[in-house]
Structure 1
């Protein structure tokens, strides 16, 4: 493709926040946050490509949006947006995930039965001009001029009004949306940087599933072992997701079976980031599962190692010392995410509070 950007390019990201960012009216632009697959749409004439946030091609999985995108976009353009699957009951992320399938016949069938749509919320290039160095206040009008909305391509709405944004945050959840995105109006488009703010209805994180432990009755998966990478790429254990129903425990056992590493295969097991969990010294410089329990020295903390290829979204209460405060809850699989992209910088950081303030002392 002949476009005025260095490709591939990583989309701009958002940092989690518990509330709308502070500022004067007009400092921030707020938009609904959609629950789908992030996508960069690249068009050069009759050629249209869809790229995930990690640069992976998505084009073959969503053939039904290609012609609508040609009708909606200029001949040459790069647009940032979200692929979603709307239903009468709201957005359905599970239906979206089913589209990532190796059989083209199944993809085509689902494209007809549960067609996807694209919501555009930023523009990176039009014609021969790169727009990433323009402030958002200039990019938004360019996006509005570039998009011709149709049945399957939409322009995301937005507002400077905080009351409206808060109303969206509350009401739009009933339609399956995640929350609200805040964009500084003076900001340029910085690929791969968390320059926006996302306010979601719960704390969630995308984590690597690196292993599991059997349920205490031996019938299925009792808990998933979760990991997040630090800035050096090292995978740290951040806790577990548990409390699965009996049927789900058995289903997980079957689903994860192809990823199980045989500990007797020394070469394969040595590649696992937590292969040294049985060595007490290995726990001194980092976080991995299997260290002795402070509460029950006889408790079996061994686990079944998995190839670190699956990403899950989990909900959690808070993070203390690099780990989830309590057992997290499995939300869904994230087939659109790379394990390497699951990093600590995605987590909401809770501001520290002095104990004296908690106790009401001065």
Structure 2
């Protein structure tokens, strides 16, 4: 049997719930975790992130999924999720799992903060690609191929009733929903309106371009991060600063990661306002994070941002300003 081919995940556009031809759509819950393609082959599972990094070593408990496809090689798309004490997906709980590679630390985290792989698509089975099949056929194939286990599941999907599913996602404290055309094939590496994500909250990825020292209880560590995003011309623009949402562990980790990245001048391609530039430590723009925010102001600044965590599964050049969208608004994510 030939080796499994390599795929890039299909991506969703940020948009609104379908208002016409509602019966043409499937609705899935949007899980607040890390996207991963699982390559199940030869009695092992290889996990690849959205930006094509091998993250297998971080999640050893998912190796048991190797026996869940009946011995058939498969490529399965899904989300790696950690749950909080209330049973809700928690991006914060997942943070230490995303960065750790030390085998002893990983083993301890797997015991104390276990993850679950939530599978929602199948791209390949045996010798045959499945990407040309419509959504409904791929879901049937996925459900008949992957036997659910303790640390992997195939969540339910809903045919129509998008508004009810979206209301349920809000009531359950989930990130939102993803609406997928029933007839759509899987388009590797493409972002298309055939998959539309609708969020309950506004969150955006940002590039860390610097930091300012803290005061009081934060003396000697990071007080706030200076953030940027790229425009269509490839310029890194300053979009504001964030000083809330951090745990002490996050601050220690950020300080350790940012120290070797220091540089003498700002990485931004526009002047940073004086009040933010004063006493700033500039860094090379290689770390990507995520913030939740209230809105984007008219001068391209994030209003009331709160830090959610680093995104090692994203590349800096992917990061674009949100363009002022609000939850449910039509824009590209």
**TM-score, length-normalised on structure 2?**
0.83
C-alpha distance in 2 between matches for 1:237 and 1:152: 40
Establish whether residue 273 from structure 1 lines up as the match of residue 262 from structure 2: no
Q: Which residue of 2 aligns with 1:182?
A: 179
Q: Which residue of 2 aligns with 1:139?
A: 138
Establish whether residue 314 from structure 1 lines up as the match of residue 285 from structure 2: no
Which of 298, 311, 319 is the matching residue for 1:334?
311
Q: Which residue of 2 aligns with 1:170?
A: 170
Q: Which residue of 1 aligns with 2:100?
A: 101
Q: 1:144 to 1:348 in 2, by over 3 A?
A: farther
8 Å CA contact retained: 2:60, 2:107: yes
C-alpha distance in 2 between matches for 1:83 and 1:253: 23
C-alpha distance in 1 between matches for 2:251 and 2:45: 41
8 Å CA contact retained: 1:207, 1:342: yes
Q: Which residue of 1 aligns with 2:225?
A: 224
1:64 counterpart SS class: helix
Q: 1:345 to 1:76 in 2, by over 3 A?
A: farther
Alignment of 1:156-305 (within 5 A): 156-160=155-159, 161-173=161-173, 177-195=174-192, 196-215=195-214, 219=219, 220-243=221-244, 251=252, 254-255=255-256, 257-263=258-264, 269=265, 273-274=267-268, 288-291=270-273, 299=275, 301-302=277-278, 303-305=280-282
What is the deviation of 1:110?
Answer: 1.6
What is the deviation of 1:191?
Answer: 2.0
Q: 1:347 to 1:183 in 2, by over 3 A?
A: farther
Q: 1:290 to 1:322 in 2, by over 3 A?
A: closer
What is the deviation of 1:112?
Answer: 2.6
Structure 1: gaps (5+ residues): 264-268, 275-286, 293-298, 353-362
**TM-score, length-normalised on structure 1?**
0.77
1:170 counterpart SS class: helix
After TM superposition, the structure 1 stretch with the greater mean CA deviation from structure 2, 106-115 or 252-261, is: 252-261
Establish whether residue 10 from structure 1 lines up as the match of residue 8 from structure 2: yes
Q: CA RMSD in A?
A: 3.1
C-alpha distance in 2 between matches for 1:151 and 1:345: 37
8 Å CA contact retained: 1:235, 1:273: yes
2:303 counterpart SS class: coil
Q: 1:137 to 1:318 in 2, by over 3 A?
A: same
Q: Deviations over 1:63-85 (max 9, x none)?
A: 11112342246521111001112
Structure 2: gaps (5+ residues): none
Q: 1:54 to 1:347 in 2, by over 3 A?
A: farther
What is the deviation of 1:109?
Answer: 1.8
C-alpha distance in 1 between matches for 2:34 and 2:235: 26
2:210 counterpart SS class: strand
After TM superposition, the runs of 4+ consecutive aligned structure 1 residues lying more than 6 A away are 244-250
What is the deviation of 1:233?
Answer: 3.7
C-alpha distance in 2 between matches for 1:318 and 1:20: 20
Across the two proteins, how many residue pairs are aligned to each other? 321
Q: 1:324 to 1:46 in 2, by over 3 A?
A: same
Work out which of the two has the higher radius of gyration on C-alpha atoms and give 1 or 2. 1
